[in-house]
Amino acid sequence: MFISDRAETVVYMQSFSKTVLSNESNQASTTDALKAWKAVNGAQIAVIADSNPVSNALPNSLTLTVPDGSSGAVGVSNEGYFGIKVSSDWEYTASFHYRTSFTGDATINLQTSTGQVLGSTTASLSGDDASWKQVSVRFTPTTDPDGESTDNLFVVTVDGEAASGQVTNFALFSLFPPTFNRRANGLRKDIAETLQEMKPAFFRFVGGNNLEVCWFNPTDVAFVLTSSSPPRAKPPRGDGNGMLRSDPSRIAQDVKETGATSTRSYSLGGTSIAEDQLDPYIQQAADQINFVIGDPAQDEHAALRASLGHPEPFKLRRVEVGNEDFIGSAPSTYGYRWKQFVEALQPQFPDINFIATTHVDNPVLDPTPAEYDVHVYQTPKWFYQNAFYYDGFARNGTKYFEGEYAVTSTNSSDIYGTPEHGRLLWPTMQGSSAEAAFMTGLERNSDIVYAAGYAPLLNHVNNSQWTPNLVSFDAARVYRSTSFYVQKVLFGLNRGDEYLPSTLPDRNGSIHWAVARKGEDEIIIKIANAGEAAQNLTFALPFDNIASTGNLQVLTGPANASNTPDTPDAVTPRETTIATGKTFDYEAPGYSVTVVTFTAL
């Protein structure tokens, strides 16, 4: 996360708007159809292709048959998405659709894996198996599980004797603990609040790989837009998000603008759409943009947005053409893809900047891009040695978005590889301090680098797809990495309004700094020491009235120190005071990030 001359911050947004249940819509393949579900007390359960489904988008149903002669509570249970956190301080919202021949009460509860009920409520089922109805209930557990265990179950049952021989079809279960800002089907509260700690001002959605798939499907755009619809009307999607449900205002109320990667003409499998076959994909991009900013009275996709409760257009200023089109064979076809998309879309959307995703000036593009999205995954050494990367760039009107960056490995030949060869599972202080050194260069060049964002952002520790990540989590907790604290302390909470020139660091050295002014009289000095040894610095300031003391925030630790589920607080910032004045000294610890703030006029 980095602040530019316009004080914008970027977070690469990944999905975390999801019921805590697993396989809640039962639309998976036959072998996975009952994943996470189990029968309770002799029930017979199956997933079927329903002849009368809850919707065309959700053709499967979970059937519960209560055997003849049953007694006691009979039903189904779900183990949750790698567990379920249960707290007596939380009110839970549970819902499901049903079609049944049974009339009577259903019990909805949360219980431990050993059967201890932690919280429970009931709902009446109406026996009309020709039509679908919905149950929605709220309840608060009365008991917490031992040791805050997440080995808990969501259970729906009926009275076995009363429902003996009866069949119930279920669809689209959900279970939500309290959500961020208490929005229905909203974001996981603790994760959203963690991101909000960084004071983000810009969110990028939907991610490029959300559209740039491994194959081409002419209905992709319909998939993305309908996944913005109410859950019953949308096809199954693992994260529960569409473009509308990715609304950044669900995370931070002070979001200033949004951005979307909305075009794709090259698949991750290495295939490009031919030059004379791009028109349908260009139209899909236009449809998505209109969904975000169009006039509901003029465009059907904007009307869809309005029907979903958001008649006002979102603020959209930038759209990328492609995603990481510097990989593989993509550069060889990007020239014509860029040209056709921009020349078709720019007249329709004159207020949008279109961002190129190739290497800068390779290939040479026509029309000339107003902006580039630059991605870098590299070693600690690369990052601190490239803190001057943008200093030599021409000031010719082109702007740059450092859209993704992170230290991913200590092995330059394995930055995309495996942990066995150096790939990091978690950010380390060595890597985080090197990222901070690079970030000081981004701030120094904020006249052309308008924003930047660490990536990837979020990681479920039980289902990692890419490491390292800024924030990790499991069913119960959130883990803030060393890089999270760099993003939060170095730039999120210490944004300057004006970059102040200073003596430049050694281009080849491991220690870097940046100086900025905030408001009328606050000076912010950021120091990143990406080397092992402590280094002494002397600051000589040109101001007349300087406070005798300032605030000192330091993040430091051994090279391989990481915040993990086993050691979640191994490295956290410490705050104290420092003696300041027209001249003062500071010893920057090895592998450290420091922020000094004080008043001066």
Q: What is the pLDDT of residues 107-133, one digit of tens each?
A: 999 999 999 999 999 999 998 888 999
- Residue 220: the pLDDT is 41
Positive/negative CA dihedral, 300, 306, 310, 311:
positive
Taking a C-beta distance cutoff of 8 angstroms, is the pair 447, 5 a contact?
Answer: yes
Q: Is the pLDDT of residue 209 over 70?
A: no
Rounded to the nearest integer, the mean pLDDT of the chain is 87
pLDDT of residue 17: 56
Q: Pull the structure tokens for residue 222.
A: 């319909």
pLDDT tens-digit series, residues 392-433: 999 999 999 999 999 999 988 888 877 777 899 999 999 999
Strands ordered across the beta sheet of 449-454: 11-12, 202-204, 257-263, 316-321, 353-356, 371-378, 399-407, 449-454
Specify the pLDDT at position 211.
53
Confidence of residue 466 (pLDDT cuts 50, 70, 90): confident
What's the CA gap between 545 and 552, in Å, rounded? Answer: 19
Q: What percent of the chain has pLDDT over 70?
A: 85
What is the per-residue pLDDT for 124?
A: 97
The pLDDT score that the predictor gives to residue 100 is: 96
Q: What confidence tens digit (pLDDT) does each residue in 63-118 have?
A: 999 999 999 999 999 999 999 999 999 999 999 999 999 999 999 999 999 999 99
pTM: 0.89
Type of residue at 353: N
Cα–Cα dist 269/272, whole Å: 9
Phi, psi of 228, deg, nearest 5: -85, -10
Give the per-residue pLDDT at 264: 59
Mean pLDDT, range 299-313, rounded to an integer: 93
Strands 458-460 and 471-473: parallel
